[in-house]
């Protein structure tokens, strides 16, 4: 299988109508309920939103040109009176749909939705906005770099011919999309917007801000592309730097280094072997699941490694995958490649991708001999030059690649190990922004605002429109994901761990305890739990009267059937003891859950003999005892006439005051002063004063 890599800067990975509901009118637009499902190999999990369309000319300079419909989704605020400046999400790619990206972003903007709408506008040519795809032969992989230049030119000509009746490929660039965005703002009746651009969406955000600076209240750029950058020319060097850094961490890690040695050297060795001799490797079709052989070349290997670097988790899997491939087991690598390629084909509108690159960047492409020694080399540059030679395009404005400047409040986020938009790009952009701030998220890759405390920072920035006042110390807690040592998961030696790994160990310990409790709970369902969960509560006597009121509430959950010794101990439920300091103490033994029926009933009666008695003054911890009162208040009178009820209550009081019951609390009325109650567990045999 030949492979083709697109100049992708994707962020994260269309809507079907839902049952009819009341329409929401926002400005000129009428929204109806809809669902936003996920595309690609991940299972669909629809999210509810409200959708509409907006008609715009394909060519903004010709009012008589073909009309296209832009798909817009509104995620409504939870506030009945949301603020008038909605948040617009600008997706990556080029070619990604904002509506299809929402599932991966919904959690990040949960707090933002408290008082603002979020608007998802599918950029023209993406998603449901007159989607622009190039037909791709089945033997072409969308991820790889080593497409023959002549074949690239033929594919470009075929694409233009295939869409000539539905798309004019000259009008699907960033400038056209910026005019669409401002038209959507007008239709919504918003004076200002809060823009959130991710990956390629950061170029869109910067161009819109340059053209309409007064319309942007705040600008958030996640994984930013500088306006002056020629998109794609630095892909090779950025990837090489990230691979060296990430795989170097593995070499320096005791466990990963011991298992895999130097993964970066292994990657270069494997790429050299495949460059000299491409091979067919066994794999599975991502659609049918059937076994089939797939072509594996150096270009496809590099493309796979590049996609692994996008997130910290997949980067942690790369050393293991490379070790398997080096041993001749290519199935894990090809399975991951097939999954990523399938997702990419579903998410990215390839026609938009080429319209952006060919019109805005390719004219300044030139051979880069300095890239020849790198893993990606010049393959992508050569392929792009040949593709764009056959692609119709128009001139971009002279200031298109001029840096963005101005006073717009701007927050820039970068991942430390981003293989496409490294942190130096953020530094390059922020130096022209007096109200800008650049934050680097440690240990992370591409598209980072959903990581760690990122959602909190996003909400705080959009709320205040002041990047410089943000408390961003929480980002220091972010660390790279640990490396996988086998396909069962991450394994770590418990000894000789670095100090910075303490937080991870604590988190793991919490998870272990939680899982252990869950296992105990599930295993105990047929035979009830083996542990006693009892609570014993006591209160002091009321010294205002002659009688002392004492309450005790024993909740018996689930216990073992095999505890006769503890059942016999229930008869000694409470006995007065003498404390070391001479004060009168009371030992309250925790009655077992499965005591004899008579003892259990007596324990209930004596725990709260006056529950519900009219005129009884409850002690301070009233809430605790109310539940016991509700449970036991009618127990003495169950099925009895009034006279019998009174007699039973009198008998109960006599039994409890005379210490005849098996689970009583002895009240020392002879000594006034603090009364301590000692709880003793059957299991530990210890005692403590409460």
**Contacts of residue 177, Cβ cutoff 8 Å, sequence gap at least 6:** 123, 124, 204
Query: Comparing C-alpha atoms, which of 231, 3, 201, 164 is closest to residue 88?
Result: 201
Domain presence at residue 524:
no
Q: What are residue 161's phi and psi, to 5 degrees?
A: -65, -35
Q: CA-CA distance, 202 to 440, in Å (whole number)?
A: 16
Q: Are residues 200 and 178 in the same domain?
A: yes
CA distance to 46, 92, 154, per residue, from 98 (Å): 15, 8, 30
Return the DSSP state at 421.
Answer: S
Domain presence at residue 573:
yes
Q: Are residues 88 and 217 in the same domain?
A: yes
Q: Are residues 212 and 228 in the same domain?
A: yes
State the Cα angle at 504 between 500 and 507, rounded to 5°: 145
Confidence at residue 39, expressed as pLDDT on a 0 to 100 scale: 66
Domain presence at residue 582:
yes
Domain presence at residue 521:
no
User: Across the strands, what pairs with 54?
Assistant: 70
Q: CA-CA distance, 94 to 197, in Å (whole number)?
A: 12
Q: CA-CA distance, 583 to 676, in Å (whole number)?
A: 8
pLDDT in tens, 465-510: 999 999 999 999 999 999 999 987 655 444 444 444 444 444 455 5
Q: Are residues 422 and 304 in the same domain?
A: no
Under a CB-based contact definition with an 8 Å cutoff, are residues 534 and 593 in contact?
yes
Confidence at residue 487, expressed as pLDDT on a 0 to 100 scale: 83
Owner of token pair 């927050």? 411
Q: CA-CA distance, 119 to 74, in Å (whole number)?
A: 5
End of a domain among 446, 477, 508? 477
Q: CA-CA distance, 448 to 602, in Å (whole number)?
A: 62
Q: Are residues 587 and 652 in the same domain?
A: yes
Confidence at residue 633, expressed as pLDDT on a 0 to 100 scale: 47
End of a domain among 330, 359, 389? 389
Confidence at residue 678, expressed as pLDDT on a 0 to 100 scale: 36
Confidence at residue 598, expressed as pLDDT on a 0 to 100 scale: 45
Owner of token pair 């098996």? 662
Q: Are residues 354 and 241 in the same domain?
A: yes
Q: Are residues 330 and 371 in the same domain?
A: yes
The CATH number assigned to the domain holding 29 equals 3.40.50.1820
pLDDT in tens, 425-438: 999 999 999 999 99
468: left (phi over 0), alpha (psi -120 to 50) or beta: alpha
Nearest-10 crossing angle of helices 235-252, 263-276: 130
Q: Are residues 192 and 276 in the same domain?
A: no
Q: Are residues 664 and 587 in the same domain?
A: yes
Q: Are residues 223 and 241 in the same domain?
A: no
End of a domain among 437, 459, 477? 477
Q: How many helices (H) and strands (E) does the chain have?
A: 20, 19
Confidence at residue 653, expressed as pLDDT on a 0 to 100 scale: 61
Domain presence at residue 552:
no
Domain presence at residue 339:
yes
Number of domains in the chain: 3
Query: Comparing C-alpha atoms, which of 4, 300, 307 is closest to residue 156?
Result: 4
**Contacts of residue 491, Cβ cutoff 8 Å, sequence gap at least 6:** 255, 485
- Alpha helices by DSSP H, 484-560: 502-524
**Contacts of residue 45, Cβ cutoff 8 Å, sequence gap at least 6:** 37, 38, 103
Confidence at residue 526, expressed as pLDDT on a 0 to 100 scale: 47
CA distance to 5, 6, 308, 395, per residue, from 350 (Å): 11, 8, 21, 21
Q: Are residues 309 and 274 in the same domain?
A: yes
Q: Are residues 252 and 383 in the same domain?
A: yes
Q: Which of the residues in the chain have pLDDT under 50?
A: 1-3, 12-21, 41, 492-507, 526-622, 624-625, 628-629, 631-634, 657-690
Domain housing 290: 235-389
Q: CA-CA distance, 536 to 681, in Å (whole number)?
A: 10
Under a CB-based contact definition with an 8 Å cutoff, are residues 609 and 652 in contact?
yes
Domain presence at residue 529:
no
Confidence at residue 506, expressed as pLDDT on a 0 to 100 scale: 45
Judged by DSSP in three states, 345 sits in: helix
Neighbours of 646 (CB within 10 A): 13
Query: Comparing C-alpha atoms, which of 617, 650, 601, 622 is closest to residue 537?
Result: 622
Domain presence at residue 682:
yes
Query: Comparing C-alpha atoms, which of 305, 308, 307, 289 is closest to residue 297?
Result: 305
Residues in the chain: 690
């Amino acid at each position: 299988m030949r492979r083709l890599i697109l100049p992708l800067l994707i962020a994260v990975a269309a809507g079907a109508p839902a049952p009819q509901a009341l329409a929401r009118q926002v400005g000129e637009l009428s929204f109806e309920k809809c669902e936003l499902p996920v595309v690609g190999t991940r299972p669909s999990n629809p999210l509810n939103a409200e959708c509409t369309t907006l008609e715009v000319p394909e060519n903004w300079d010709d009012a008589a040109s073909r009309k296209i419909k832009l798909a817009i989704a509104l995620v409504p605020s939870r506030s009945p009176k949301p603020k008038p400046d909605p948040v617009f999400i600008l997706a990556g790619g080029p070619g990604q749909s904002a509506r299809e990206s929402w599932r991966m972003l919904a959690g990040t903007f949960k707090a933002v939705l408290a008082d603002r709408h979020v608007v998802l506008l599918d950029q023209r040519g993406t998603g449901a906005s007159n989607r622009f795809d190039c037909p791709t032969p089945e033997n072409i992989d969308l991820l790889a770099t080593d497409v023959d230049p002549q074949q690239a030119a033929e594919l470009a000509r075929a694409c233009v011919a295939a869409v000539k009746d539905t798309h004019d490929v000259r009008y699907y660039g960033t400038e056209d999309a910026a005019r669409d965005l401002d038209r959507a703002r007008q239709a919504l009746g918003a004076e200002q917007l809060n823009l959130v651009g991710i990956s390629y969406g950061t170029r869109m955000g910067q161009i819109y801000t340059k053209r309409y600076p007064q319309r942007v209240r705040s600008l958030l750029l996640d994984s930013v592309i500088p306006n002056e950058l020629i998109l794609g020319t630095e892909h090779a060097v950025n990837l090489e730097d990230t691979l060296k850094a990430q795989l170097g961490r593995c070499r320096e890690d005791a466990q990963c280094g011991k298992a895999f040695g130097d993964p970066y050297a292994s990657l270069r060795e494997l790429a050299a072997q495949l460059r000299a001799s491409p091979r067919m490797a066994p794999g599975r079709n991502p659609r049918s699941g059937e076994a089939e052989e797939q072509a594996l070349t150096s270009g496809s290997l590099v493309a796979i490694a590049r996609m692994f670097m996008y997130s910290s988790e997949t980067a942690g899997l790369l050393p293991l995958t490379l070790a398997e491939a080096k041993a001749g087991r290519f199935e894990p690598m090809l399975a991951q490649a097939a999954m990523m390629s399938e997702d990419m084909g579903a998410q990215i509108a390839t026609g938009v991708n080429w319209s952006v690159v060919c019109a805005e960047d390719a004219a300044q492409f030139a051979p880069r001999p300095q890239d020849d020694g790198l893993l990606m080399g010049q393959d992508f540059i050569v392929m792009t030059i040949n593709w764009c030679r056959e692609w119709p395009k128009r001139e971009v404005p002279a200031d298109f690649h001029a840096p963005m400047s101005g006073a717009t409040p701007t927050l820039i986020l970068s991942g430390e190990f981003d293989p496409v938009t490294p942190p130096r790009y953020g530094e390059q952009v922020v130096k022209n922004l007096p109200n800008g701030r650049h934050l680097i998220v440690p240990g992370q890759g591409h598209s980072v605002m959903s990581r760690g405390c990122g959602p909190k920072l996003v909400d705080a920035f959009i709320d205040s429109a002041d990047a410089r006042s943000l408390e961003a110390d929480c980002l220091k807690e972010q660390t790279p994901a640990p490396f996988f040592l086998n396909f069962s998961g991450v394994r770590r030696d418990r000894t000789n761990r670095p100090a910075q790994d303490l937080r991870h160990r604590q988190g793991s310990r919490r998870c272990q305890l939680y899982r252990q409790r869950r296992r105990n709970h599930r295993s105990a369902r047929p035979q009830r739990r083996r542990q006693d969960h009892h609570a014993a509560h006591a209160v002091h006597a009321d010294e205002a009267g002659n009688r002392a009121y004492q309450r005790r509430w024993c909740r018996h959950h689930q216990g073992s059937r095999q505890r006769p010794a503890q059942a016999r101990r229930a008869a000694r439920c409470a006995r007065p003891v003498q404390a070391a300091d001479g004060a009168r103490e009371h030992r309250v033994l925790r009655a077992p859950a499965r005591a004899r029926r008579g003892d259990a009933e007596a324990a209930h009666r004596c725990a709260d003999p006056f529950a519900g008695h009219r005129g009884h003054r409850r002690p301070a911890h009233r809430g605790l005892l109310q539940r016991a009162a509700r449970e036991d208040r009618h127990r003495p009178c169950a099925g009895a006439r009034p006279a019998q009820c009174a007699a039973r209550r009198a008998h109960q009081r006599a039994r409890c005051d005379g210490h005849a019951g098996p689970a009583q609390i002895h009240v020392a009325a002879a000594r006034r002063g603090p009364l301590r109650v000692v709880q003793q567990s059957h299991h530990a045999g210890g005692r403590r004063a409460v």
